[in-house]
Chain A
C-alpha cells in the first residue's frame, strides 16, 4: 500500500504550532456534556437526532454509523452539539463560505495538515506500483443520508449506467479510467488505460465525489429504465417527457441540487433553497465521529444567504456572519475596526496564491515584431526589473503581500527562494532595465519618450485583464496602474484593456493580446496541465493557441483544429515535463518533487510570466465562539479545499 508521507516533519510541526497558537483558551475537554447517550450504545448523537430516534423516525445511532466509523481528531478541542451557522455568499460568486457542497464536504481520501494522505470516506486505499490499478475499500455499514447502504455498486453504476448512457448528464470518471469493478460489496477497483498516479489527488476533492464517481444508485434506480420498466410512465407522472429527463432532474448535483431529497454523504444535507437562501440540515447517517464517540457534525444547520458584495461586508461588520472569507485585503481595516461590536475575530490568512498579479507576454502574438520581442528572454527580464514591487506592495497591498516572481508559494516542500523572492530579476533596477532594452536595439525613442521597435512603431502594448464579475479586484487594478507608470518610465507604454471574462476567452486564441494579467496558483498539488488562473500562462487555456497543439497531441483536439504556429522549443519542454509529472510521479514522492523542481527551475530561468506580488493574505472573519476553525492554510491546496474541509468539527462554544 502506498502511503504518502512526504512533507518534512518540521513543516508539519510548524503548521501545528501556528494552529494551536491561534486557538484561544487551553483546549479544555468539553466532550459529551450535551451529547445524548443512546441506550447502551457505543456512540453519541445530537439531541435533535435523539428526539427523532425516540419518536421512532430514525434507527439508533449505532445502526446508522458504519461498523468502523471514521474517527476524526479535533484541531482544537472536542465540541458540543447544536446551533445554526449563519453565513453569506457573495452574489458575484456564491461559492465560498460553506455556500455550496464541494466546499464543506469530505471525500474518499483526505489530506492532513502535515500533507499526509489518509482514507476518509473509504476505509483504506491502494494504488498499484505501476499506477494502473486503484482500489478503494469502503466502510461496511456506511450509509447515504436516506439510509441506503453505500456499496461498490454505487461506483460501478456511475460508470456503466450513467457515463455510458448517452441521455444521462454526467461528469463521470476521469478519461484515464478504463474499467470500474466491484470486487465485493465493499471493494471497488479502478483500472486505467494509462498510468494514473493522480487518482490519489482526485480522490481528495470534488473529482472523487458524487459529482463524478459515486452516486446513490439504490435511490436513483427508480428512475432508470434498466431497473424500472415503468420508468417512462413514472417520468410522465412527474411531468417529464421521458425517463432520462426525470433521471437527470433527480440526479443533477450542481448548484444547487435540483431534488433536495437526493441522498448525500456530506455532513449536512439539503433542506431547501431559494434564490436568496440555502439551508442544510445535519445528515443523520454521517459516517464520522470524534474521538469521544460523538457522531459528527456538531452544528445542526447551515443557513447561507446570497447578498451583493457591499451588503456582504455590512452583514459581516454588523456581526451577522459566523464565518466569512469572501473579502479582499482592502477590507481588512474596516473589519478590524468593527471586531468588538461585531463579536468576531478577523485574521489575515496567508494565501497560497503564487502570484496575485502576474503578467504574461503573449508568445504567439500575430505581429511578428512583437512576437520576436516577447520571445526574447532579455526583454522579459528587463520588463521585470522595471517594476517597483516594494512600492506597489506598500501602497496597494497594505505591505502584506510578498514582492515575488510568479511561482509556487513559499511553504511548498521543495520551494527554492530563487524562484520567487530571491529571483535574480525580482529587483527594482530601472537603469539596468533601460540599458538592457537599449542593448536589444530598442534605443531609439519618439517624441513622447517611447522606444521604437524594429519596424519603427513605438512600443505600445495592451495589458488585458479580466473585468468580469469574478475578475480583477480593486488591488489588482491599482497594481496594473502602477506597473503602467513603471513601464512608462523605461519607455514602454501599456494601455489597460479591461475585458469581460467571456471576451477574454474568445480572444485568447486569436493572438491579438499583448500582455495578459492573471493570478497564478501556487499550491503543492498544483495540477500542471489543468490548473486554473492562467497557469503561468503556459498550461490550460492561458497558453492561447499553443494549447490547441497540446490538445491535439493528447487527442483532445482534432489535428485540423490546431491554430497558429507550434509552441517554441523551450515551452514544449515545459509541457513535456508537465506530462511526465502527471503520468508517472506519485504526489509527495521524490520523483514528483524532482519533476516539479525542473518545471519551476525552467519557469524561473525563462521568466515567461513576470510576477509582481504574491501570497497576499485575505481576511477571514470567525465568530468568537466558533471553535475548531483552522486559521492557517496548508500549502498543498487552495483555500476552497482547505478551510471548509474541517467544518464538520466546527462548533459553538
Chain B
C-alpha cells in the first residue's frame, strides 16, 4: 500500500513537470504576445505606441529572452519561492490574484455542490421508488429542462428576470460598497444576498444530471434479488432502501471525486463570465485571451495539479473501499 502510494506520488511529480512545460508552451503558441495585445488595446483608445515604447515593453517583460530561459526562470521561482510571476494585464503578482479569487470560487462551488446534493438525492430516490408517478414525471421534466438549457442562457434570463421582478443587481457577488472591503459579517451577508442566482444557474444542470443518474442506478438496484429477498423477509421498506440500494447507487457520485477538486476551483467558467463573478474561470480566460502568460500558465498548472491530487485521493479511497483493488495490489 505504502509502496503503491509512493510510486503514484513519484509519477505525479514527473507528470507535473511535463504539464508545467506544456502549460507554458501553450501560451506561446498563438501569434503575438502580451505586448502586441497591449499595443492593440492602446491603439483602440487612440494611443499609438511606437517602436521605442514597444522595445521598452519587451525588455520589461523579458520577452527578448529565449523561451526556455523564460520557462526555467518561471518554474524555478515557483519551486524555490512559490512565486508564480507577475500578471501583465493586472500588473500584480499571480499568487495574489489567484488568492483573491480562490475563496469566492471555492465558496461558490462548494455551495453549489451542497445544494445540488440536497435537491437531487431526495428527488432521485423518490423518482426511483415511485416510478411513473406524478412526482416522478415532475422531477423528470425538471431534469430534462435543466439538462437541455444552456447555462449561460439561463444566467442571462435569470439576471434579467430577477432584475425586473425583485430589482436585484445584475451580476457580480457584492454590492459596490463591499467590493473592496475587508471580510466582515456585513460583507458575508452581502455575499449571501448575491449568491442565489449563480447557485441556481450553476446548480441546475448538475442537479438534473444527478437526478437522472440516481434514478436509473437506484431503480436497477431495487429490482435486484437481495432487495426482493429482504422484502420477502419482512424488513421495513425504508430500512431496505437506505441500508443497501441507495448506498450502492450513490457510488458513481463518490468516484467522481477526482474531478471535484479542479471543478471546485475553476468550475462553471462560462456562467461566471456571463454573471461577471470574480472567480478563477474568467480570469483564466482573460489570461489566455490577452496572452498574459504567467497568469494563464500558473492557473493551468494549478488546475492540472489539483486534478492529479484529486485522482490520487480517489484512487487511494478506492483502495481502501474496494477490496478487489487491494487484492490486485497484493498479487
* Chain A contacts with B in 268-325, Cβ cutoff 8 A: 272-277, 279, 303, 305-308, 310-311, 314-315, 317-318, 320
Select the residue from A102, A175, A206, A469 with max chain B CB neighbours within 10 A. Answer: A469
**Is B44's beta carbon under 8 Å from chain A?**
yes
- Do residues A276 and B32 form an inter-chain contact, with CB atoms below 8 A? no
Bound CA–CA A275/B159 (angstroms): 22
| Given contacts A311-B171, A530-B48, A641-B46, A275 and B278 within 8 Å (CB-CB) | yes
User: Of the candidates B37, B91, B101, B283, which one forms a contact with A258 in the assembled complex, judged by CB atoms under 8 Å apart?
Assistant: B91
| Given contacts A93-B44, A470-B41, A318 and B169 within 8 Å (CB-CB) | yes
- Do residues B47 and A102 form an inter-chain contact, with CB atoms below 8 A? yes
- Do residues A531 and B273 form an inter-chain contact, with CB atoms below 8 A? no
Chain B residue at minimum C-beta to C-beta distance from A255: B91
- Do residues A308 and B276 form an inter-chain contact, with CB atoms below 8 A? yes
User: Of the candidates A273, A311, A540, which one forms a contact with B276 in the assembled complex, judged by CB atoms under 8 Å apart?
Assistant: A311
Chain B residue at minimum C-beta to C-beta distance from A638: B46
- Do residues A501 and B40 form an inter-chain contact, with CB atoms below 8 A? yes
- Do residues B180 and A258 form an inter-chain contact, with CB atoms below 8 A? no
Interface string of A525-561 (1 = CB under 8 A from B): 0010011110000001000000000010000110000
Chain B residue at minimum C-beta to C-beta distance from A532: B43
Interface string of A498-527 (1 = CB under 8 A from B): 001111011000000000000001000001
Bound CA–CA A365/B44 (angstroms): 26
Give chain B residues whose Cβ lies under 8 Å from the Cβ of A252.
91
Bound CA–CA A256/B176 (angstroms): 19
Give chain A residues whose Cβ lies under 8 Å from the Cβ of B53.
171
- Do residues B59 and A169 form an inter-chain contact, with CB atoms below 8 A? yes
- Do residues A307 and B41 form an inter-chain contact, with CB atoms below 8 A? no
What is the interface of chain A mostly: helix, strand, loop, or mixed? Answer: loop
User: Of the candidates A96, A275, A531, A641, which one forms a contact with B97 in the assembled complex, judged by CB atoms under 8 Å apart?
Assistant: A275
**Is B328's beta carbon under 8 Å from chain A?**
no
- Do residues A91 and B286 form an inter-chain contact, with CB atoms below 8 A? yes
Chain B residue at minimum C-beta to C-beta distance from A271: B180
State the Cβ distance, A544 to closest chain B Cβ, in Å: 16
- Do residues B176 and A86 form an inter-chain contact, with CB atoms below 8 A? yes
Interface string of B228-267 (1 = CB under 8 A from A): 0000000000000000000000000000000000000000
State the Cβ distance, B296 to closest chain A Cβ, in Å: 14
Interface string of B263-282 (1 = CB under 8 A from A): 00000000001111010001
Chain A residue at minimum C-beta to C-beta distance from B50: A530
- Do residues B170 and A314 form an inter-chain contact, with CB atoms below 8 A? yes
Give chain B residues whose Cβ lies under 8 Å from the Cβ of A169.
56, 59-60
**Is B220's beta carbon under 8 Å from chain A?**
no
- Do residues A318 and B170 form an inter-chain contact, with CB atoms below 8 A? yes
State the Cβ distance, B253 to closest chain A Cβ, in Å: 32
**Is A461's beta carbon under 8 Å from chain B?**
no
- Do residues B274 and A311 form an inter-chain contact, with CB atoms below 8 A? yes
- Do residues B44 and A470 form an inter-chain contact, with CB atoms below 8 A? yes
Interface string of B90-103 (1 = CB under 8 A from A): 11100001001100
Select the residue from B37, B171, B286 with max chain A CB neighbours within 10 A. Answer: B171
Bound CA–CA A84/B176 (angstroms): 10
State the Cβ distance, B181 to closest chain A Cβ, in Å: 10
Select the residue from A206, A275, A306, A638 with max chain B CB neighbours within 10 A. Answer: A275
State the Cβ distance, A243 to closest chain B Cβ, in Å: 16
Give chain A residues whose Cβ lies under 8 Å from the Cβ of B56.
169-172
- Do residues A532 and B159 form an inter-chain contact, with CB atoms below 8 A? no
User: Of the candidates A500, A503, A527, which one forms a contact with B48 in the assembled complex, judged by CB atoms under 8 Å apart?
Assistant: A527
**Is B9's beta carbon under 8 Å from chain A?**
no
**Is B194's beta carbon under 8 Å from chain A?**
no
Bound CA–CA A95/B45 (angstroms): 7
Chain B residue at minimum C-beta to C-beta distance from A279: B180
**Is B36's beta carbon under 8 Å from chain A?**
yes
Give chain B residues whose Cβ lies under 8 Å from the Cβ of A256.
90-91
* Chain B contacts with A in 33-74, Cβ cutoff 8 A: 36-37, 40-41, 43-48, 50-53, 56, 59-60
State the Cβ distance, A277 to closest chain B Cβ, in Å: 4
State the Cβ distance, A295 to closest chain B Cβ, in Å: 26
Bound CA–CA A527/B47 (angstroms): 10
Give chain A residues whose Cβ lies under 8 Å from the Cβ of B274.
308, 310-311
Give chain A residues whose Cβ lies under 8 Å from the Cβ of B276.
91, 276, 306-308, 311
Chain A residue at minimum C-beta to C-beta distance from B168: A318
**Is A475's beta carbon under 8 Å from chain B?**
no
State the Cβ distance, A563 to closest chain B Cβ, in Å: 16
**Is B172's beta carbon under 8 Å from chain A?**
yes
Chain B residue at minimum C-beta to C-beta distance from A272: B180
User: Of the candidates B30, B101, B172, B289, which one forms a contact with A275 in the assembled complex, judged by CB atoms under 8 Å apart?
Assistant: B101
**Is A640's beta carbon under 8 Å from chain B?**
yes
Chain A residue at minimum C-beta to C-beta distance from B173: A276
- Do residues B48 and A531 form an inter-chain contact, with CB atoms below 8 A? yes
Give chain B residues whose Cβ lies under 8 Å from the Cβ of A469.
289
Chain A residue at minimum C-beta to C-beta distance from B92: A258
- Do residues B180 and A320 form an inter-chain contact, with CB atoms below 8 A? no
Give chain A residues whose Cβ lies under 8 Å from the Cβ of B91.
252, 254-258
**Is A468's beta carbon under 8 Å from chain B?**
yes
Interface string of B4-44 (1 = CB under 8 A from A): 00000000000000000000000000111000110011011
**Is A248's beta carbon under 8 Å from chain B?**
yes
State the Cβ distance, B316 to closest chain A Cβ, in Å: 36
Give chain A residues whose Cβ lies under 8 Å from the Cβ of B97.
275
| Given contacts A275-B101, A506-B31, A521 and B51 within 8 Å (CB-CB) | no
User: Of the candidates A305, A318, A640, which one forms a contact with B45 in the assembled complex, judged by CB atoms under 8 Å apart?
Assistant: A640
**Is B163's beta carbon under 8 Å from chain A?**
yes
State the Cβ distance, A325 to closest chain B Cβ, in Å: 12
| Given contacts A91-B286, A318-B170, A540-B48, A274 and B180 within 8 Å (CB-CB) | yes
* Chain A contacts with B in 95-121, Cβ cutoff 8 A: 95-96, 102-103
Give chain A residues whose Cβ lies under 8 Å from the Cβ of B92.
258, 275
**Is B138's beta carbon under 8 Å from chain A?**
no
Bound CA–CA A230/B288 (angstroms): 40
| Given contacts A531-B48, A532-B46, A502 and B41 within 8 Å (CB-CB) | no
**Is B160's beta carbon under 8 Å from chain A?**
yes
- Do residues A308 and B273 form an inter-chain contact, with CB atoms below 8 A? yes
| Given contacts A276-B172, A303-B176, A308-B273, A248 and B60 within 8 Å (CB-CB) | yes
Bound CA–CA A502/B50 (angstroms): 17
State the Cβ distance, B136 to closest chain A Cβ, in Å: 37
- Do residues B169 and A305 form an inter-chain contact, with CB atoms below 8 A? no
Bound CA–CA A170/B167 (angstroms): 47
Interface string of A609-653 (1 = CB under 8 A from B): 000000000000000000000000000011011000000000000
Bound CA–CA A274/B291 (angstroms): 19
- Do residues A640 and B46 form an inter-chain contact, with CB atoms below 8 A? yes
Bound CA–CA A502/B92 (angstroms): 24
**Is B200's beta carbon under 8 Å from chain A?**
no
Give chain B residues whose Cβ lies under 8 Å from the Cβ of A254.
91
Bound CA–CA A315/B169 (angstroms): 7
**Is B199's beta carbon under 8 Å from chain A?**
no
Chain A residue at minimum C-beta to C-beta distance from B272: A308
Give chain B residues whose Cβ lies under 8 Å from the Cβ of A533.
43
17 CB contacts below 8 A, A to B, read: A169-B56, A258-B91, A273-B180, A275-B283, A277-B179, A303-B179, A308-B171, A311-B170, A314-B160, A320-B169, A470-B41, A500-B30, A501-B40, A502-B291, A506-B32, A527-B48, A638-B46
List residues of chain A with CB under 8 Å of any chain B CB. 84, 86, 91, 93, 95-96, 102-103, 169-172, 175, 206, 248, 252, 254-258, 272-277, 279, 303, 305-308, 310-311, 314-315, 317-318, 320, 468-470, 500-503, 505-506, 521, 527, 530-533, 540, 551, 556-557, 637-638, 640-641
List residues of chain B with CB under 8 Å of any chain A CB. 30-32, 36-37, 40-41, 43-48, 50-53, 56, 59-60, 89-92, 97, 100-101, 156, 159-160, 163, 167, 169-172, 176, 179-180, 273-276, 278, 282-283, 286, 289, 291
- Given A275-B90, A314-B160, A505-B40, list of 18 further CB < 8 A pairs? A93-B41, A169-B59, A252-B91, A254-B91, A307-B171, A308-B282, A311-B274, A315-B170, A468-B40, A470-B44, A502-B30, A506-B32, A530-B48, A532-B47, A532-B48, A551-B51, A556-B50, A557-B51
